[in-house]
A = this chain, B = another copy of it.
Amino acid sequence: MNPTIDLLTAHRSIRKFRDQPIPRDLFLELIRAGQSAATSSHVQAYSIIHVVNPDNRKALAELAGGQRYIESCSDFLVFCADMKRSTESAERAGAEVVRGMTEQLLVASIDTALMAQNVAIAAESAGLGLCYIGGIRNNPAEVSELLKLPEHVYPVFGMCLGYPDQNPEVKPRLPLASILKEDYYDDSQDEALVAAFDDTMGDYYRQRTGGNKDTTWSEQLKPLFTSKLRGHMREFLIKRGFEMK
């Protein structure tokens, strides 16, 4: 359609990186591109921790569940939802600030995601690869301590960046008809569409693994909702000042 749309649709996670640093100028361009994303009421409710210290990279790789590419990528970022800067600025301007609202958790998490996605696209446009690290939320209290995150700041996800040393296939997505609905939420076709997608993903996994991985989308999802994945998030967020009031 156009080179940018081609770039977007070519996205796949990269977990193996060449031993080649990202030039500092380019790195800063990526962050600036991130800042250019839309932000709710201009609040810019995010901070990025650029983790350079190798011991901290190693510790984070462990805390995220043994994801070694956190150590081996060129640059590792932790994207944080940050309600500290904006609320303290409003306080200095004379506001009596209310914190811990559910809406604020949403605003900060969404602002952070929009910004990170711009960083991701800017990176890919410059020939870099990346993967998001949701595993940062496996042990968010320990991650917060390591990065000295204050109250009203929480680590949303990480991102590994670097020059790709692999060329994985693009992973199929759900049929467009299942996620795009006209005027109303009509899911009468969703079961059939998901069944078709299960077949698609089955083929994808078999081909990619030479027949060793035989599963479907629905099967893959099962552990996500059965094991109370990251059941600590509620208590963690409340402790960090995101009380979800």
Chain A residues engaging chain B, CB cutoff 8 angstroms: 1-5, 7-11, 13, 26, 28-33, 35-38, 40-44, 46-53, 56, 80, 82, 84-90, 92-99, 101-104, 106-107, 109-110, 113-114, 116-118, 120-122, 125-126, 131-132, 134, 137, 147-150, 153, 156-157, 170-171, 173-174, 176, 178-187, 190-191, 194, 198, 216-222, 224-226, 228-231, 233-234, 237, 244-245
Contact A44 B222, beta carbon cutoff 8 Å = no
A183 to chain B, nearest CB (A): 5
The oligomer's copy count stands at 2
A113 to chain B, nearest CB (A): 4
The residues of B that contact A110 with a CB separation of less than 8 Å are 109-110, 113, 156-157
A99 to chain B, nearest CB (A): 7
Contact B222 A94, beta carbon cutoff 8 Å = yes
Q: Select from chain B the residue with minimum beta-carbon distance to A13.
A: B38
Contact B179 A95, beta carbon cutoff 8 Å = no
25 intermolecular pairs with C-beta atoms under 8 Å apart: A2-B126, A3-B3, A5-B33, A5-B122, A9-B36, A38-B117, A38-B131, A40-B132, A41-B134, A43-B221, A49-B184, A56-B183, A84-B187, A90-B221, A95-B225, A96-B226, A97-B226, A101-B228, A101-B233, A109-B113, A110-B110, A110-B156, A113-B117, A148-B184, A148-B185
* CA gap between A117 and B111 in the complex, in Å: 10
A81 to chain B, nearest CB (A): 10
Contact B183 A52, beta carbon cutoff 8 Å = yes
The residues of B that contact A245 with a CB separation of less than 8 Å are 231, 234
Contact A102 B233, beta carbon cutoff 8 Å = yes
